[in-house]
Amino acid sequence: MITVAIRRLNLDDPNQETLLDHLDWDRYRILPNTAGSKTADEAVFTARLAREVTGSNWIKVEVIPDAKYLLPDPVGTYEASKRLIAEGFVVLPYIHADPVLAMRLEDIGCATVMPLGSPIGSGRGVLTSEEIQIIIEQSSVPVVVDAGLGVPSDASLVMEMGADCVLVNTAIAQAGDPGAMGEAFKLGVEAGRMAYQAGRIPIREQASPSSPTAGVAVAAGRSG
C-alpha cells in the first residue's frame, strides 16, 4: 500500500505526469491522504478530490494545523472522519497516541486507527509505547503505527507489541540506501510479527534461573 498526498500533486495540467503515473496500480493499493489540510473542511474537500482522481473511497485523514511540530488536531480529525464516513469513505485517521480518541474514532466507524510513534519525519522512534499498547489492547480495528519510526528495530518493537502494521516514509526515503533500508524494515516487521505470535516471556522484577534447579547435585562441605 502506498499513501499519496493529493494536495501536493499538480492536478491543474492533465497532461503533466504526477507520482500516480509511475505507480503500478495492479501491484499496489493507492491510499490517498489529506496531508496539507489544516482544518476539517480542507480535509473533507481533499478527500472528495482524491476520490475523483483515484476512484478510491479509501482515505487517510490528516488534519495538521501546526507547521512546526506537525501534530494532528484531534478535534479536526474527529470531525472530518465523521463527515467522510457519512459520505461512504473508508477512513484511516492519523492521530496522536490517544487511547480515548482512538476509541471514539472506532465508535463512529473508522476502519483503523493510526497513532504516531513520534513527530512526523523526526526519526525519534517510539516515544508513545505505553499509549500505543493501550490502543492495541482496546481496539477491535487494525492499529497502524505511523510517523517517527527511524530504524527497523522501531518497527519490530511495535509489531512485537501487537500492532497490525506500520507506515514508513522518511526513514526509508532519506536513508543512504533507500532500497536496503526498505528491505531492512521488511525484515524488522516480519521479525516483530513472528515474535508477537510466538509469545514473549513475562517481564519479571527479579532474576529467574534459565536452567533447571530440580535434581541439581549439591556439593557437600568437608568437615574437619
Query: Which residues does the annotation mark as catalytic?
Result: 60
Bridging pattern class, strands 30-33 and 144-146: unpaired
DSSP state, 203? P
Cα–Cα dist 163/134, whole Å: 11
Cβ(59)–Cβ(88) below 8 Å: no
For 40, 62, 82, 108, 131, the CA distances from 79, given in Å and listed in that order, are: 6, 11, 5, 10, 22
Unique residue bearing C-alpha cell 503505527: 145
